[in-house]
DNA sequence: TCAGGTCTTCAACCAACGTTGAATTGACTT
DNA sequence: AAGTCAATTCAACGTTGGTTGAAGACCTGA
């Protein structure tokens, strides 16, 4: 008797998917609820029924994959700590645990994740609500990574550590925004869509930056 | 006879200033022309009269300070090349020539420049038009900096160089977006508004990354 | 003073917006 | 068969959006 529940909400997912794609492209204010409903092939009123008003929809899109991503990041961090024990893991390994989940999802799974990361890139650089939303959804896990980095960089000044993470965050989000500016700048030699090529460079680039800032002695 | 022209357009500047501030905060779609006119204390129709339609206004805001910034960047690059001659300048010095103008304008001059950089940060991470606009307004000068970096990093792989610049660009734009996320993350220890503190860390961070990627031998 | 622009105001247009409430469907329980 | 509740449709509400055109004000040089 129990199980035979409705597919709960096929349409709720369709709405979230369409919203994700459109918000990623044009931002919160650049997309109308009606357009999202049209793209999801769903009546306008259903958006309010299944999700809520526009602002709620926006946060629902952000939250949906944030949980998955956070779990995977924590898992990878614990793995890399465990496999380096009893030594602390290297800075490279920690950064890789932080960035690799993005690469994995973006290349192995569908366009949805790509859209999601592009959306996050916009949010991260938005003065309007960027600070609040990013802090709410990602910073709890970021703090765990900072804890690990402290062990890998003993004696590191706290401010150097925070700013180093800030630079990594900026480089990472611009990468996953995939604006194709670099395609143009490099005359096609580099491609924003070739995330594997970026990732194998981002990790050593950022690690070198962390070491440069955090290893130096303070007088 | 000649000179006594009207102040040409007092109001045009007021419109551009108001637009700059609002676009920086909420993006192109998040601000209405009517709101800009209200903030500039100007009739709605004057926006179209003095500048043009909304899209033209947006690009006018971007262009206005891009020219000033580009000139200053080129000047600082030439200076640092001249003062290092006949050796090529260091990577640090080149990056500093690229980033210092932002710091200078942002701290010494008014809120207008801060708003402008926040706007550029949004554009840089926007999939909608980010690639196009950034390339159009900034990449000609970026190419000059890449030329200088090639001399400072002889034998550097081209793709490593482009990606290194990409990472620098991401870190730089997130910094000048001033989203205050880092204030929250660091419990007030770091402040997004303290641009001098960021700048003195960004230059060595990025320089270390460039060296790490570009100095390594390719088998 | 008048004629010429330039600049400014006012009002209006229509399309699109987010959101809601009432009415309808459809499937499952009793 | 009737009743229940979630899901869905439809139409409408009141605002606000960007843009325009015609009319008015202002100034300058003749």
When pLDDT is cut at 50, 70 and 90, the band that residue A2 belongs to is very low
> In chain B, what's the furthest Cα-to-Cα distance?
72
Measured CA A43 to C1' C24 distance, in angstroms: 14
Give me the pLDDT at residue B100, please.
96
User: How confident is the prediction for chain B on average, in pLDDT?
Assistant: 93
Strand C bases contacted by the protein (CB, 7 Å) = 6-12, 16-22, 28-29
pLDDT of B93 reads: 97
What's the Å distance between residue A184 CA and nucleotide C16 C1'? 35
Q: Counting Cβ atoms within 10 Å, is residue B92 exposed (0-12), middle (13-18) or buried (19+)?
A: middle
The shortest C-alpha distance from B126 to chain A (Å) reads 6
Proximity of residue B43 CB to strand C below 7 A: yes
Cβ under 8 Å to A: B residues 118-147 = 118, 121-122, 124-128, 130-131, 134-135, 139, 142-143
- How close is the nearest chain A Cα to the Cα of B133, in Å? 9
B45 touches strand C (CB under 7 A): yes
Estimate in Å the CA B165 to C1' C30 gap, whole number.
70
* CB of A33 within 7 Å of some strand C atom: yes
Q: What is the mean pLDDT of residues A101-129?
A: 94
C12 C1' to B40 CA distance, Å: 23
Q: How many beta-carbon pairs below 8 A join chains A and B?
A: 222
Q: Cβ–Cβ of B212/A207 closer than 8 Å? A: yes
Judging contacts by C-beta atoms under 8 Å, the chain B residues touching residue A135 are 181, 184-185
Q: Which regions of chain A does DSSP assign to beta strands (E)?
A: none
B146 Cβ contact partners less than 8 Å away, ≥ 6 residues apart:
B161, B162, B165
Q: Over 80: is that where the pLDDT of A8 sits?
A: no
Q: How confident is the model at residue A9 (pLDDT cuts 50, 70, 90)?
A: low
Measure B125 CA to D15 C1' (Å): 31
Residues of B in contact with A170 (CB under 8 A): 170-175
Q: Per-residue pLDDT for A23 more than 60?
A: yes
Residues of chain B with pLDDT under 70: 1-9, 216-219
Per cent of chain A over pLDDT 90 is 90
Q: What is the pTM of this model?
A: 0.93
Across A95-132, b (16+ Cβ under 10 Å) vs e yields: bbbbbbbbbebbeeeeebbbbbbbbbbbbbbbbbbbbe
Residue of chain A with shortest Cα separation from B207: A209
CB atoms B174 and A134 under 8 Å = no
Element at A153 (helix H, strand E) = none
Q: What is the model's pLDDT at position B5? A: 35
B131: chain A residues, CB-CB within 8 Å: 179-181, 183-184
pLDDT of residue B8: 55
Name the nearest CA neighbour of A145 among A179, A117, A168: A168
Q: Is B180 left (phi over 0), alpha (psi -120 to 50) or beta?
A: left
Residue B125 · residue A117 · CB < 8 Å: no
Query: Which residue is listed with tokens 């465990």?
Result: A82
pLDDT tens by residue, A36-89: 999 999 999 999 999 999 999 999 999 999 999 999 999 999 999 999 889 999
Report pLDDT for A219: 39
Percent of chain A with pLDDT over 70: 94
Q: Is residue A20 less than 8 Å (CB to CB) from chain B?
A: no
Q: Looking at the predicted structure, is the pLDDT value of residue A216 above 90?
A: no
The model's confidence at residue A217, banded by pLDDT at 50, 70 and 90, is low
Q: Is the pLDDT at A24 greater than 70, yes or no?
A: yes
Nucleotides of D under 7 A from a protein CB: 6-12, 16-22, 28-29
């Amino acid at each position: 008797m129990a199980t035979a529940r409705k597919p709960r909400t096929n349409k709720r997912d369709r709405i979230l998917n369409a919203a994700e794609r459109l918000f990623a492209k044009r931002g919160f204010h650049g997309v109308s609820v009606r357009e999202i409903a049209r793209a999801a092939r769903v009546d306008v009123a259903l958006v309010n029924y299944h999700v809520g008003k526009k602002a709620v929809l926006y946060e629902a899109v952000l939250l949906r994959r944030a949980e998955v991503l956070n779990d995977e990041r924590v898992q990878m961090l614990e793995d890399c700590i465990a496999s380096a024990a009893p030594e602390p893991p290297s800075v490279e390994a920690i950064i890789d645990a932080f960035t690799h989940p993005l690469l994995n999802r973006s290349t192995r799974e569908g366009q949805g994740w790509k859209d999601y990361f592009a959306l996050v890139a916009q949010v991260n650089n938005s003065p309007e609500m960027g600070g609040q939303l990013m802090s709410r959804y990602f910073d709890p896990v970021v703090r765990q990574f900072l804890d690990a980095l402290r062990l890998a960089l003993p004696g590191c000044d706290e401010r150097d550590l925070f700013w180093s993470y800030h630079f990594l965050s900026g480089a990472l989000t611009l990468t996953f925004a995939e604006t194709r500016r670099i395609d143009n700048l490099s005359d096609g030699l580099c491609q924003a869509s070739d995330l594997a090529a970026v990732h194998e460079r981002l990790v050593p680039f950022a690690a070198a930056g962390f070491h440069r800032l955090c290893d130096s002695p303070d007088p």
